[in-house]
Amino acid sequence: MARPSVREQIISAGLDTLHRSGFNASSVQDITDAAGVPKGSFYNHFESKETLGAEAVLRYVEGSRPRLAVLRDTKLAPLSRLRAYFEDLCQTFEQSRYSRGCLLGNFGAELSDQSPLIRDRVARAFASWSEIVAKVIAEAQAAGTVSTDFPPEVLAALVINGWEGAVLRAKVDKSRVPLDQFLAVTFAKVLA
């Protein structure tokens, strides 16, 4: 198997380091140490830590794509697909021992006023995620299993906003309880 390029090593190590420690708490040296490359190599591939952070958002989203497959599985009812998707996210977060959270939420909270480039990437990622969830909610509305009192786009945004809040609270509390509360209320009340 071919060895990853230095750029790929930096992106991979950068994504892991930035996700684990946060943007401001991670130095370029931390990232290059984790990548096992000289610090000078970083600047051969990235103009700044900010440009690496923006690339990390894209890679995080790319890495999340396989998990979205359940949302397209039409063998399951739309609400069952949504529930399976969020239950899978809960398990993943629980396996991390509530330490990392969602990179989009983390960067959104940490960098929205600091980096227009990263804020734009995070906003686009949230918009794309909302669009995918909205399509499934629209299917559930068409099937009569979700109220049509609100457009699917509004419900999708609310669900994702609720998920991000639950993840933040679970990270703070080091507990699955906020995630379970999110699931219970979302599927018994919000998407009812």
With the C-alpha atoms ordered 122, 90, 97, 31, is the resulting torsion angle positive or negative? negative
Residue type, 46: F
Spatial separation of the C-alpha atoms in residues 134 and 158, rounded to whole Å? 10
* Angle, helices 28-35/6-21, rounded to nearest 10 degrees: 120
Question: Strands, E, within 6-152: which ranges?
Answer: none
* Under 8 Å between Cβ of 179 and 93: yes
* Under 8 Å between Cβ of 28 and 36: no
Q: Look up the pTM and report it.
A: 0.94
pLDDT score at 97 = 81
pLDDT score at 182 = 98
- pLDDT, one tens digit for every residue, the chain (192 residues): 666 799 999 999 999 999 999 999 999 999 999 999 999 999 999 999 999 999 999 999 999 999 999 999 999 999 999 999 999 999 999 888 888 899 999 999 999 999 999 999 999 999 999 999 999 999 999 999 999 999 999 999 999 999 999 999 999 999 999 999 999 999 999 999
With the C-alpha atoms ordered 112, 118, 119, 123, is the resulting torsion angle positive or negative? negative
pLDDT score at 175 = 94
Largest CA distance in the chain: 58
pLDDT score at 3 = 67
Domains in the chain and their CATH numbers? 6-46 (1.10.10.60), 65-190 (1.10.357.10)
